[in-house]
């Protein structure tokens, strides 16, 4: 079985030719069928070290069990802050930052930490302010020119469909005025996507992101990478059907954000591919190869 996502990049003129090899899917449904709903809801998060709380939350909602949104909210707060404070600074040769005090509580203190004050109205003034996460975003903005590493996809309207859709934190807040400013100048590239994490975190600090149950047996739950969709059915006290679609499924779909973003990265900037991939954030291990010739 292939456990890692294989990505091969080859120069093809000024751009990159991208080959993706998706990892073999885990037989999640086969492991869950025939078990009681409570057992399934408890077991599902243990199978995954990423977004486990969100998947457990989705399972409980889909199976009609009592659900607590607190673990899922804390998981998103933690994962967003890890990107902003630890992972992206390292990839951009910036010093890491400690996570803000009492980050798991959210609230106005966390919002103030993000912006160094109130949420700004003008993105470009903020990026030169040196406040909050502005130095990180400004460095990221300087790394990519407008139109580089961009991917424009339809919005997430059919979460259970394995088609290319914008299933990401940035897509979740795409209507925010700051997001419009980033998109108008740079397109839906790394700055837009990283800013989306910040705006999403601002909203999450204020209140949990609402889960949805569009119909019985289907749950849509916010997670750090986008929205998890989980469909399940139980009969006679046993789970008889279970299907899940993750943000990574949409990311890796034909014509999805990963392939489009890397294909629009200039060959001269292939060294930034690892940063682009981390911002897109597939929830699987990645094996990246850069070949010399197409």
pLDDT digits (tens, 9 = 90+) for 147-178: 999 999 999 999 999 999 999 999 999 999 99
pLDDT digits (tens, 9 = 90+) for 68-84: 888 899 999 999 999 99
pLDDT over 80 at 114, yes or no: yes
Q: What number is the average pLDDT over the span 1-24? A: 88
pLDDT over 80 at 48, yes or no: no
pLDDT greater at residue 13 or residue 196: 196
- pLDDT at residue 49 in the model: 67
Confidence of residue 294 (pLDDT cuts 50, 70, 90): very low
Residue 246: how many CB atoms within 10 A of its CB? Answer: 25
The CA distance from 72 to 279, in Å, is 20
pLDDT over 80 at 292, yes or no: no
Confidence of residue 3 (pLDDT cuts 50, 70, 90): confident
Q: Could you tell me which residues come within 8 angstroms of residue 167 by beta carbon, excluding any fewer than 6 positions away?
A: 156, 159, 225, 226, 227, 247, 250, 251
The number of folded domains in the chain is 1
Q: What number is the average pLDDT over the span 59-68? A: 93
Range from 48-62, 88-102, 124-138, 254-268 carrying the lowest mean pLDDT: 48-62
- pLDDT at residue 293 in the model: 60
pLDDT digits (tens, 9 = 90+) for 182-218: 999 999 999 999 999 999 999 999 999 989 999 999 9
Check which CATH number belongs to the domain holding 190 and give it.
1.10.645.10
Q: What number is the average pLDDT over the span 96-101? A: 94
The average confidence (pLDDT) of the chain is 94
pTM exceeds 0.85, yes or no: yes
Q: Provide the residue range defining the domain that includes 254.
A: 4-290
Q: What number is the average pLDDT over the span 87-92? A: 97
- pLDDT at residue 46 in the model: 85
pLDDT over 90 at 67, yes or no: no
pLDDT over 80 at 262, yes or no: yes
- Please list the residues that pair with 231 across neighbouring strands: 218, 243
């Amino acid at each position: 079985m292939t456990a890692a996502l294989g990505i091969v990049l080859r120069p093809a003129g000024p751009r990159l030719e991208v080959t993706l090899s998706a990892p073999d899917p885990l037989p999640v449904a086969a492991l869950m069928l025939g078990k009681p709903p409570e057992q399934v809801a408890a077991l599902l998060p243990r199978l995954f070290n990423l977004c486990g709380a969100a998947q457990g939350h989705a399972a409980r909602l889909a199976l009609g069990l009592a659900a607590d949104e607190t673990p899922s909210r804390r998981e998103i707060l933690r994962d967003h802050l890890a990107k902003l404070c630890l992972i992206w600074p390292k990839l951009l040769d910036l010093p890491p930052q400690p996570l803000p005090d009492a980050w798991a509580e959210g609230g106005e203190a966390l919002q103030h930490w993000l912006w160094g004050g109130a949420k700004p109205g003008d993105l470009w003034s903020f990026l030169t302010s040196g406040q909050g996460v502005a130095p990180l975003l400004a460095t990221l903005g300087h790394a990519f020119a407008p139109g580089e590493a961009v991917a424009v996809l339809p919005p997430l309207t059919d979460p259970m469909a394995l088609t290319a859709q914008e299933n990401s934190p940035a897509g979740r807040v795409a209507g925010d005025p700051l997001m419009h400013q980033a998109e108008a100048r740079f397109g839906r590239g790394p700055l837009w996507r990283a800013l989306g994490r910040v705006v999403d975190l601002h909203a999450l600090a204020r209140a949990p992101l609402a889960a949805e149950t569009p119909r019985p047996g289907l749950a849509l739950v916010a997670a750090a990478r986008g929205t998890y969709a989980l469909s399940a059915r139980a009969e006679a006290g046993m789970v008889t059907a279970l299907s899940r679609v993750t943000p990574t499924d949409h990311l890796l779909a034909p014509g999805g954000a990963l392939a489009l973003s890397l294909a629009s990265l200039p060959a001269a900037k292939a060294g930034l591919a690892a940063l682009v991939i981390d911002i897109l954030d597939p929830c699987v291990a990645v094996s990246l190869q850069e070949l010399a010739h197409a």
